[in-house]
Amino acid sequence: MSRISVEEVRHVALLARLELSDDELAVLSGELSALLDHVEQIRRLDTSGVPPTAHPLPMRNVLREDEPRPGLSAAEALAAAPAVEDGRYSVPSILGDEP
């Protein structure tokens, strides 16, 4: 069993700038030790016949093919605008008059 000491947890907490109580340090020490035990069990598995994969299930692209299609005309794009000026959206100035 891999055992992570409270001092090691305290050191990592310090590096991460976490303030933990003594009770929290003790709990995290046990939880992290259990986590490492699980990792060790997985590490011991014989995976020599298992190919490396990025995902456990077969993946396929579910996106449609890009097909060009007509876009909106300028008039259609501006039709719902609250204000239009010189063929463009008109919005209130927020920076003042200076360039």
Sequence ranges of the domains in the chain: 6-43
pLDDT value at position 36?
Answer: 92
Mean pLDDT of the region 81-92:
90
| CA distance to 55, 56, 65, 68, 69, per residue, from 62 (Å) | 16, 17, 9, 18, 20
Question: Higher-confidence residue: 54 or 29?
Answer: 29
Mean pLDDT of the region 14-31:
96
* Model pLDDT for residues 37-86, shown as the tens digit of each residue: 999 999 999 999 888 888 888 878 878 888 999 999 999 999 989 999 99
pLDDT value at position 53?
Answer: 84
6-43: which CATH architecture?
Answer: Orthogonal Bundle (1.10)
The pLDDT of residue 99 is above 70: no
Mean pLDDT of the region 15-30:
96
Task: Please state the pTM of the whole predicted model.
Answer: 0.49
